């Protein structure tokens, strides 16, 4: 049985969450990042692992409610326990089997030894423990992670990066076998949120950040706010958008799209917004503007009309001059005179590494292979844009 992080894309990079490892979510203070640890715990509960969740600053009942907000019914799992370091701290009797007063670190250390021996994966809110117990609690956290390593258990830490001392921050980095930064994109206000792998000592990988949003219910979703679907008139752009989205909207006049198609897709942990452009030449002035905001491009071509390929190439050049990754959807492959993808690539003089995917948008055939091909170009690649803490 293999443990995983439960976070979209991240699991594809690190492949697993091995025994004896500590995974830390390093969270900027302005970001709602606790869902990352919760999602890791819930995912592994579903896989059959025994998981414990330590709470210090909120009640066990509130912990359950937070899980339920995301649709995660942890009460249904017999292999889940809350370790209550909150109730005694605020003067209430605890209803939890595992509980202690965090002010008494010796009592907590005895309790945590029992918990680590009992459970496969233990969540620790590192910054909350330090806030309540003082920076000397860092030594305890180090000891618990060291014990987990020695007995083959896994620890999930959340660390909200308040202005702690350099010693505390360096100590968290030191004990973390894997470190995932969860942050915000700023321009006077927060424009978006991202996460990215900083390190994982069991895999030789580097990564760039990926955008995310929190979905209730649902949890962490990798977020691609704009994929542009473009191509010549009547190539099948609207059919493509409608084939992969049950929330697609088109503005048509006499059967022709005269404004942006818009569709939304939840797929493989991604939340994706798609925008299809009109194909008529009179709309060309807006193509460059649309390309500035896109993260990737799907070029839809009519496989039966090679005379439209120069126009398709022209449109592609208009929206990809910013270096946007793109794939080509070779539509209408269900028709007898459709050119094969290899011939389309040759006639359009496309680079060898550009995917040309055969599809029939009206039948919904091959459309998700196009999304898969573009996601392969968008998600983390080794050696790109290494994050720093």
In whole angstroms, what is the distance from residue 349 CA to residue 64 CA? 57
pLDDT at 334: 96
Question: Which residues lie closer than 8 Å to 122 by C-beta, 6 or more apart?
Answer: 51, 52, 54, 83, 112, 115, 116, 144, 148, 153, 154, 155, 156
In whole angstroms, what is the distance from residue 160 CA to residue 254 CA? 55
Q: Are 84 and 55 in contact (CB under 8 A)?
A: yes
In whole angstroms, what is the distance from residue 207 CA to residue 119 CA? 31
pLDDT, one tens digit per residue, over 8-61 is: 989 988 999 999 999 999 999 989 899 999 999 999 999 999 999 999 999 999
pLDDT at 383: 39
pLDDT at 139: 95
pLDDT at 278: 72
For the chain, domains (ranges, CATH) are 10-217 (3.40.50.300), 224-378 (3.40.50.300)
Question: Which residues lie closer than 8 Å to 327 by C-beta, 6 or more apart?
Answer: 296, 297, 298, 299, 354, 355, 356, 357, 370, 373, 374, 377
pLDDT, one tens digit per residue, over 157-190 is: 999 999 999 999 999 999 999 999 999 875 444 5
- Splitting the chain (389 residues) into consecutive groups of 10 residues, what average pLDDT does each group show? 94 93 96 95 98 97 97 96 96 95 93 97 97 92 97 98 95 97 69 86 80 92 90 92 74 49 88 80 61 83 96 86 85 96 96 95 96 84 54
Which two tokens mark 356? Answer: 């040309």
pLDDT at 292: 66
Nearest Cα to Cα of residue 120 among 76, 75, 153, 165: 153
Distances (CA, A) of 9 to 112, 211, 237, 258, 354: 32, 11, 27, 35, 22
Question: Which residues lie closer than 8 Å to 352 by C-beta, 6 or more apart?
Answer: none
Which two tokens mark 189? Answer: 């206000």
In whole angstroms, what is the distance from residue 279 CA to residue 265 CA? 22
pLDDT at 252: 47
Is residue 89 within a helix (H) or strand (E), and if so which, with residue range? helix 87-90
């Amino acid at each position: 049985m293999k443990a995983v992080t439960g976070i979209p894309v991240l699991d594809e990079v690190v492949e697993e969450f091995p025994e004896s490892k500590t995974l830390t979510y390093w969270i900027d203070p302005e970001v709602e990042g606790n869902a990352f640890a919760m999602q890791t715990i819930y995912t592994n509960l579903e896989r059959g692992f025994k998981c414990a969740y330590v709470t210090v600053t909120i009640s066990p009942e509130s912990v359950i409610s937070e899980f339920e907000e995301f649709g995660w019914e942890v009460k249904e799992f017999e292999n889940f326990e809350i370790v209550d370091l909150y109730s005694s701290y605020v003067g209430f009797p605890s209803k939890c089997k595992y509980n202690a007063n965090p002010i008494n670190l010796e009592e907590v250390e005895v309790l945590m030894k029992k918990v680590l021996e009992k459970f496969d994966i233990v969540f620790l809110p590192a910054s909350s423990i330090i806030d309540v117990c003082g920076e000397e609690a860092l030594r305890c956290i180090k000891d618990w992670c060291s014990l987990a390593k020695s007995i083959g258990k896994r620890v999930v830490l959340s660390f909200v990066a308040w202005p702690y001392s350099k010693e505390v921050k360096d100590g968290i980095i030191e004990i973390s076998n894997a470190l995932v930064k969860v942050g915000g994109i700023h321009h006077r206000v927060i424009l978006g949120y991202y996460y990215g792998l900083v390190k994982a000592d069991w895999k030789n990988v580097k990564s760039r950040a990926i955008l995310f949003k929190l979905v209730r219910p649902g949890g962490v979703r990798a977020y691609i706010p704009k994929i542009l679907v473009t191509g010549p008139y009547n190539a099948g752009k609207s059919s493509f958008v409608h084939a992969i989205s049950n929330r697609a909207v088109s503005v048509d006049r006499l059967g022709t799209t005269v404004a942006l198609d818009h569709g939304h897709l939840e797929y493989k942990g991604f939340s994706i917004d798609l925008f299809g452009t009109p194909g008529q030449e009179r709309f060309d002035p807006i193509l460059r503007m649309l390309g500035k905001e896109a993260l990737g491009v799907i070029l839809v071509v009519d496989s039966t009309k090679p005379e439209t390929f120069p126009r398709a190439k022209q449109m592609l050049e208009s929206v990809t001059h910013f270096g946007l990754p793109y794939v080509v959807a070779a539509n209408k492959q269900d028709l007898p005179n459709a050119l094969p993808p290899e011939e389309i690539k040759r006639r359009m003089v496309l680079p060898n590494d550009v995917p040309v995917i055969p599809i029939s948008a009206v039948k919904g055939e091959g459309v998700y292979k196009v999304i898969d091909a573009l996601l392969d170009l968008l998600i983390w690649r080794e050696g790109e844009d290494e994050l720093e803490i």
